[in-house]
Amino acid sequence: MAENHAENQTHGEEAQRQQVLVDIIDKGEPIIRTERLFLRPLRDSDVPFVFGLRSIAEVMKYSSTQKPDDDITFTRGRLQSFNHPQSIGFIVHEAGPSSSCADPESAPKIGFPGVVLQCGKYEIGYIMHPDAWGKGYTTEAIGAMIDAWWRISAAFPPAAASPDAGDGSEAPDRDAVWALTHKLNVASNRVLEKCGFHAVREFDHHLGETIEWRIQRP
Ligand SMILES: CC(C)(COP(=O)(O)OP(=O)(O)OC[C@H]1O[C@@H](n2cnc3c(N)ncnc32)[C@H](O)[C@@H]1OP(=O)(O)O)[C@@H](O)C(=O)NCCC(=O)NCCS
């Protein structure tokens, strides 16, 4: 009985994983549906939402500016990196169990993860609204986004070599995604660990002790 239960659970987990992959609807816009969340690409109309998030001191504590954005123009400028053809930002909606919301976009927006091509590497970042913290949402969103990323990035046009990559590489490696976190950002470090990232090095940065993380395409 216990064995059957464990087997069913494994099948359930695999089915859920497959569900995430199947639900990337290729209409030019990658859409990701998980058990409780809905992720769709960032749009210009999302700038006020992202500004709202970036106006919260505790959200920005470990960011590169370490403080809330002064105004929406600054936020808009920061989002320019997502206009790059090799980068993508998502808005996360709290959509509830997959059958419960006919129009997931009408569900509340709770976060903003994405992958940007930076210094020759694909680098992940994410911020979530504090009301959504502690519910496993970020782990769910980032796990699904990384799963989807391997397919999304495979469809990108060829990328030119980055002059600032610093490692002599020809072009960015689409089979790896990187992350940088503050060593004290326990929640973020745990999210990455749970999503399969490995810490590759620690170094002193002017923003504080930093951990560099990497995940390889499975
Ligand atoms: C980092 C952040 C996205 C985590 O969001 P979240 O939705 O609360 O994360 P999850 O609920 O998926 O939790 C993931 C893990 O972190 C742990 N965790 C969450 N908050 C924690 C905290 N304050 N202290 C210790 N562990 C914490 C959870 O317990 C969980 O681990 P577990 O399953 O082993 O118990 C959120 O805190 C945030 O937006 N912070 C501000 C922005 C930021 O720092 N972004 C990352 C920049 S690199």
Q: Which of 102-106, 111-115, 116-120 has the highest mean pLDDT?
A: 111-115
What integer is the mean pLDDT of 97-115? Answer: 84
Q: What's the pLDDT at 155?
A: 80
From ligand 1's centre to the CA of 59, what distance in Å? 11
Residue 13: pLDDT over 80: no
Which atom of ligand 1 has the smallest separation from the CA of 135? 11
Contact 92, 148 (CB under 8 A): no
Q: What's the pLDDT at 133?
A: 98
Structural domains of the chain sorted by starting position, each given as residue range(s) with its CATH number in brackets: 2-216 (3.40.630.30)
From ligand 1's centre to the CA of 158, what distance in Å? 34
Question: pTM of the predicted model, to two decimals?
Answer: 0.86
208: left (phi over 0), alpha (psi -120 to 50) or beta: left
Ligand 1 pocket test: pick from 133, 183, 185, 210 the residue with the most ligand atoms within 8 Å of its Cβ: 133
Tokens of 138: 């970020």
Confidence of residue 160 (pLDDT cuts 50, 70, 90): low
From ligand 1's centre to the CA of 138, what distance in Å? 7
DSSP conformation class of 161: P
Which residues does a 6 A CB cutoff place in the pocket of ligand 1? Answer: 59, 62, 126-128, 132-139, 181, 185-188, 190-191
For residues 177, 180, 183, 187, the Cα torsion angle rounded to the nearest 10 degrees is: -60
* Average pLDDT score over the chain: 84
Ligand 1 pocket test: pick from 62, 138, 189, 195 the residue with the most ligand atoms within 8 Å of its Cβ: 138
Q: What's the pLDDT at 169?
A: 55
Question: Locate tokens 């129009």: which residue?
Answer: 103
What integer is the mean pLDDT of 187-205? Answer: 97
Helices (H), 29-136: 47-54, 57-60, 72-78
Helix (H/G/I), strand (E/B), else coil: 166: coil
Between CA 123 and CA 89 the distance in angstroms is 11
Q: What's the pLDDT at 30?
A: 84
Q: What's the pLDDT at 170?
A: 64
Between CA 102 and CA 91 the distance in angstroms is 18
Nearest residue (by CA) to ligand 1, atom 20, is 187
Tens digit of each residue's pLDDT (9 = 90 or more) over 46-87: 999 999 999 999 999 999 999 999 999 999 999 999 888 888
Between CA 58 and CA 23 the distance in angstroms is 33
Tens digit of each residue's pLDDT (9 = 90 or more) over 135-145: 999 999 999 99
Between CA 64 and CA 93 the distance in angstroms is 25
What integer is the mean pLDDT of 178-187? Answer: 97
From ligand 1's centre to the CA of 195, what distance in Å? 12
